[in-house]
Chain A
Amino acid sequence: MSKFRNVKWKQYVAYLLLIAATCYFGFFGLQRSLDRITTILLEKAAVAMILAVSLNLVVGFLGELSLGHAGFMCVGAYLGAKTAVALTASMGPGNELVILLISLLVGGVAAAVCGVVIGLPALRLRGDYLAIVTLAFGEIVRSIFENLPDEMFGGSLGQQAVRYIRHHLFIIGFILVILTLAIIQNFIRSKHGRAVTSIRDSEIAARATGINVTKYKLMVFTISAFFAGIAGVLFSFTQNKVQPTTFDYNYSIEILVMVVLGGMGSLNGSLIAALLITYLNEQLQIVLTGDLAVLRGLMYALVMILLVIYRNAPALKVFREKASIKNLLAKLKTHDPSKIHDDEASWDRVPTKIMVDEVLSVDIQPQSPYTPDKQWKEEK
């Protein structure tokens, strides 16, 4: 009995809830009794959750601001769709699941390769400069796909895609979310994750402690891009056509808002925020019609601004402390923080979150020997 109590169930809440949701909706999905709106919402939620969790790896744990996540997704979506179309033509109907899995792999690996490509300059740049590079990367990828000859990826009309069976796709989507969460969470909760968070906290000290900063930055960018590619492929299977305009700069910001809203460095938070934003987005799409549809884009800006004000405003300090979930929980049960439990490295009691502004405003001092331009001068 005591052994059961020792299981840190808090670590597994997200998995349990996700599995429960998959089973619940999957049951109706297999019976084909879910309506169109619900299935589409679930599909979008699955895509958003994978994206948010994978971006959190870069922004929350590595502490680098990446604004090009939609670019990786774009690569995955296009190549996944292309593979699916080609395979469907050669293998014919009846092999949908096999085609989906192969496409996922192709899209994911292609995006991971792009992750390496963007990761290489990322090793030299930091803070705002890296954000600019990733932002440019996202736009470049999109416009490459848009401007390639029409025979290759459909040009500005978009790449033909294969729509997967509507009632089944979200089940696969949710399974992918669980896998993504498991892999990224396991990565973070290991010695490798510790190395990554150490780079976030102090790159200079991490280097001096013998952490291979280059290797880990590249690794994180690649993993994150791989899962963004997976999300892209999944997205392509929800569409009849993959259009380049989907993956614009606003989409990258949307993913970033999910990560910031959920708390940087908190994977569960990312999941919840992704669900919330997707749901709100769908509802607003229904409510705001015609000319008002433009206002939908305002939501992200509002969420971001309110969040930053809430986290930083001195006037709200008392309220923040009162309303913090941690303190509310502490009130509920007689939790004694001074008591030392013998599970130092257990992750549920270790805060992994960082504040927004720690990532968003990285100041690089011109005198620091670590600025890229200084090293360049020395080489000359």
Chain B
Amino acid sequence: MAETVLKIENLGISFGGLKAVQNLNLEIKEKQLYGLVGPNGAGKTTVFNMITGVYKPTTGTFYLCGENLTGKSQETINHKGIARTFQNIRLFNNMTVIRNVMVGLHNQPEYKCGMFTSMLRLPRHFKVEKAMRQRAKEILEVVGLLEERNSLACNLPYGKQRKLEIARALATSPKLLCLDEPAAGMNPHETQELMDIIRLIREQFNVTILLIEHDMKFVSGLCDELTVLNFGTVLAQGETKEALQDPEVIRAYIGG
């Protein structure tokens, strides 16, 4: 039996009188590809914001590998091992592709280097920079952006910007990678490519992946398990095939 990576218990948040998410329970096993789907406004991104520390949940707790991270700051949660991408891409636009990834490597213990070491250009600084560049190149190769490493992040086409966000999140060596609509705005060819990349990432980086997506083909082709949300409550949960055939889910999506 695989180990539980993320465990969410009774998680909920309300903004004033609006209960955006209520009573969410889910458990993600190691190296699982877990999907979070639901119609617009169902509260999927809110769940992401809670487990990455942007919002503080009003009720409930969540654990990463058994450690309670509820209410911790974004930085701490990232250090503990949850990395995310954003629905509306947020890259460091004025920096090159490789340096975007190198920012992700910033907090890795093996690249530790004090401020004064850098200011005085001690040998350690050069060693660390070289190692970081090497590692960043390896990560970029996985997502297929090695060729573009010198261009500015804002000059990349949309699909590649999404891949770069994934690469940057991966650079923080997370245990759990949260992808917020990774395939949004991509054409079918790019979507297919992204599916392969996500599978490859899971194998190479030993990472558990939680993703939000609207593209049902993408979800059913990729995810092992699903949680379907509607108006902040869980509609269905379980194996992808079964969850998608649940009559409640079909009604929420198609109506009737």
Which A residues are closer than 8 A to B by beta carbons? 183, 186-187, 190-195, 197-198, 200-202, 204-213, 219, 340-341, 344-345, 349-352, 354, 369, 378
Q: How far is the CB of A356 from chain B (nearest CB, A)?
A: 14
Q: Which residue of B lies closest to A185 (CB)?
A: B119
Instruction: Kindly state whether residue B19 has any CB partner on chain A within 8 Å.
Output: no
List A contacts of B78 (CB < 8 A): 207-210
List A contacts of B99 (CB < 8 A): 194, 344-345, 350
Q: How far is the CB of A366 from chain B (nearest CB, A)?
A: 14
A202 and B91 in contact, given A194-B102, A345-B98 (Cβ under 8 angstroms) = yes
Cβ of B90 and Cβ of A186 under 8 Å apart?
no
Q: How far is the CB of A264 from chain B (nearest CB, A)?
A: 11
Cβ of B129 and Cβ of A345 under 8 Å apart?
yes
List B contacts of A194 (CB < 8 A): 95, 99, 102-103, 106
Cβ of A209 and Cβ of B103 under 8 Å apart?
yes
Cβ of A190 and Cβ of B95 under 8 Å apart?
no
Cβ of B113 and Cβ of A191 under 8 Å apart?
yes
A-B contact pairs, 17 of them (CB 8 A): A190-B113, A191-B132, A192-B115, A198-B92, A202-B90, A202-B91, A204-B90, A206-B92, A206-B103, A207-B78, A209-B171, A210-B78, A210-B83, A213-B75, A345-B98, A345-B129, A378-B56
Cβ of A190 and Cβ of B118 under 8 Å apart?
yes
Within 8 A of A (CB), among B89-135: 90-96, 98-100, 102-104, 106-107, 111, 113, 115, 118-121, 125, 128-129, 132-133
Distance, CA A105 to CA B141, complexed state (A) = 48
List B contacts of A193 (CB < 8 A): 118
Cβ of A183 and Cβ of B119 under 8 Å apart?
yes
Instruction: Kindly state whether residue B55 has any CB partner on chain A within 8 Å.
Output: yes
List B contacts of A354 (CB < 8 A): 94
List A contacts of B150 (CB < 8 A): 340-341, 344, 349
Within 8 A of A (CB), among B53-93: 54-56, 74-75, 78-79, 83-84, 86, 90-93
**Contact digits for B19-48, partner A, Cβ 8 Å, 1 yes 0 no:** 000000000000000000000000000000
List B contacts of A197 (CB < 8 A): 92, 94-95
List B contacts of A345 (CB < 8 A): 98-99, 102, 129, 132-133
**Contact digits for B125-159, partner A, Cβ 8 Å, 1 yes 0 no:** 10011001100110000000001011010000000
Chain B interface main SS type? helix
List B contacts of A192 (CB < 8 A): 115, 118
Q: How far is the CB of A48 from chain B (nearest CB, A)?
A: 23
Q: How far is the CB of A165 from chain B (nearest CB, A)?
A: 30
Q: How far is the CB of A380 from chain B (nearest CB, A)?
A: 13
Q: How far is the CB of B13 from chain A (nearest CB, A)?
A: 11
Q: Which residue of A lies closest to B58 (CB)?
A: A378
Q: How far is the CB of A282 from chain B (nearest CB, A)?
A: 33
Q: Which residue of A lies closest to B174 (CB)?
A: A210
Q: How far is the CB of B62 from chain A (nearest CB, A)?
A: 17
Cβ of A191 and Cβ of B133 under 8 Å apart?
no
Distance, CA A349 to CA B168, complexed state (A) = 21
Residue among B78, B107, B119, B125 having the largest count of chain A Cβ atoms under 10 Å: B119
Distance, CA A194 to CA B74, complexed state (A) = 19
List B contacts of A369 (CB < 8 A): 54-55
Instruction: Kindly state whether residue B176 has any CB partner on chain A within 8 Å.
Output: no
List B contacts of A202 (CB < 8 A): 90-93
Cβ of B149 and Cβ of A344 under 8 Å apart?
yes
Q: How far is the CB of A368 from chain B (nearest CB, A)?
A: 11
Cβ of B104 and Cβ of A209 under 8 Å apart?
yes
Q: How far is the CB of A187 from chain B (nearest CB, A)?
A: 5
Cβ of B129 and Cβ of A209 under 8 Å apart?
no
Distance, CA A198 to CA B75, complexed state (A) = 14
Q: How far is the CB of B176 from chain A (nearest CB, A)?
A: 13
Instruction: Kindly state whether residue B169 has any CB partner on chain A within 8 Å.
Output: yes
Instruction: Kindly state whether residue B52 has any CB partner on chain A within 8 Å.
Output: yes
Instruction: Kindly state whether residue B172 has any CB partner on chain A within 8 Å.
Output: yes
